[in-house]
Amino acid sequence: MKRIVILLLALILLGCAGQKAEKPNDILTKAERAVASTNLDANATFELTIKSPKFTDYTRYDLRVVKLNNTTKVFFLNYSYKTTDQSLADVHKKMKIALKDAWILDKGDVFYVYTPNLAYMKGKVGEYKPAESLPRYKFIPIVTCLDLAKFFDKAKDVRLIDENGNYYVVAYSLRYPSIAFAETANVKVWISKADYIPIKAEITANFGQTSITMTTEMKSYKTKGVKCDMSLNGLSVVERY
C-alpha cells in the first residue's frame, strides 16, 4: 500500500511538472480573441475616482453591456456620484439627467448615443466617431472590459502577478496615445480561466498632482441565448463629428 501511495504522489508531481505555465502575453491574446468571438449579456459597473489637491470626485455607472457579433450596446441603468467641488456637482447633476434611460450603440467605426431625457434629442440619436484611445466614447468617460480588450495588443511590460483556480491576474502598462488621460497608465486585469473573458480591471494613472483610478467590472454575464435590439428603428440620426 505504501508503495502505491508513493507511486501516485510521484505521478502527480510529474504531471504538475509537465504542465507549462501560460505566458501573460498569450493570456491577453486569448482574451482579446475570446471577446471578439463571444456574444454576451453582462451586468457591469464602471467607477472613476479623481483626486487632486483641490478636490476629490467619484462617479459610478451601473450598466448593462450586450455584445452581438461586432455590435455592442451599453445601457445606463444608474448614475451616482460624490464630489467635494460644487462646479463638478453641477456637471454631475446634468449628466445624471442626460443619462437616464440612455444607451450607446457601438458599431465599431461609429457609435450612437440615445438620450431621451434631453428635449432637443427626443426621437434622435447622436452619431459619433470613437476615439482611437481609451476612453472610446466622447463626452462619456467610461471604459468597459470589452473596450479594454481591444487594446490588449498595445500592452507593455506584461506580467502575470497572480493566479488561482478561476482567474489569471495580468498586469501591464498602457501609454499615450492608447490612453487619452495620461502619459502612462498601470492596468491590472482579471481574466476568467473558463473562457478567457476579462471580467474586471483596475486602471491607475497620474496627471501632474492628480491621480486617476478606474475600476471596470462585469458582475455577471451570460454567453448563451443573447438577444438585444441593435437597430435604430424609429430614430433619426444627427451627426456629431
Backbone angles phi, psi at 21, to 5 degrees: -70, 145
Q: Which of 67, 26, 9 is nearest to 223 (CA)?
A: 67
pLDDT of res. 170: 98
Which cell numbers hold the place of 144? 468597459
| pLDDT the model gives residue 241 | 78
- Please give the domain boundaries of the chain with CATH numbers for all domains: 23-235 (2.50.20.10)
Q: Please report the pLDDT score of residue 62 as a whole number.
A: 98
pLDDT for 21: 75
pLDDT of 188 reads 98
Per-run averaged pLDDT (10 residues), the chain, 241 residues: 47 45 94 98 98 97 98 98 97 97 97 96 96 94 98 98 97 97 97 98 96 98 98 96 78
Rounded distance between C-alpha atoms, residue 55 and residue 230, angstroms:
39
